[in-house]
Amino acid sequence: MLNLRVVMLLLALLWINLPASASIDAYPFPNDAMRHRYASLIAELRCPQCLNTNIAGSDSMIAQDLRREVHRLVLEGQSDDQVREFMVARYGDFILYKPQLKAGTLVLWFGPLVFLLIALGVVYRLLRRRGMKVTALTDQDQARLKQLLTK
């Protein structure tokens, strides 16, 4: 009879190996230029389901569909901008890791800078306020300090 630890170890090894058996999309392209365009496009498009993963690195069904769609558009001769516009029209600005600069995305582009400036202003005011209260040591405080330093 197999030891329970051996069985658990074998199950753990099988479980760790599962991602390696996942299917890999292999789309044919007539030339390397199209293959490189495809690879760069799927690297810059965000998976709508996984949120913080591009469609190149996602195994979700929607990412597989989007990769297939990008492949079709590249083979049809669409430019990179046309592919991006196609995806934005269907999934919104969220699909792009670098959204376009327009009125609806100003908060995305400049919001972090505004928050940084506010934080710097608050820190400046706190430091300035702290520096304004400089008082001299009383005789009692000086005696205590001298006592602590001589020990």
Higher per-residue confidence, 14 vs 56: 56
Considering the domain architecture, whether residues 96 and 107 belong to the same structural domain is answered as: no
pLDDT digits (tens, 9 = 90+) for 39-67: 999 999 999 888 788 898 888 899 999 99
The answer to whether residues 94 and 105 belong to one domain is no
**Same domain membership, residue 125 and residue 75:** no
Distance, CA of 119 to chain centre:
22
| Number of independent structural domains in the chain | 2
The 3 state secondary structure assigned to 61-130 is: HHHHHHHHHHHHHHHCCCCHHHHHHHHHHHHCHHHECCCCCCHHHHHHHHHHHHHHHHHHHHHHHHHHHH
Same domain, yes or no: 71 and 109: no
Q: Is the same domain home to 111 and 94?
A: no
Residue 125 located in a structural domain: yes
Say if 112 falls within a structural domain. Answer: yes
Domain limits for position 135: 101-151
pTM for this structure?
Answer: 0.58
Q: What's the Cα-to-Cα distance from 105 to each of 50, 94, 109, rounded to whole Å?
A: 21, 10, 6
Between 81 and 7, where is the model more confident?
81
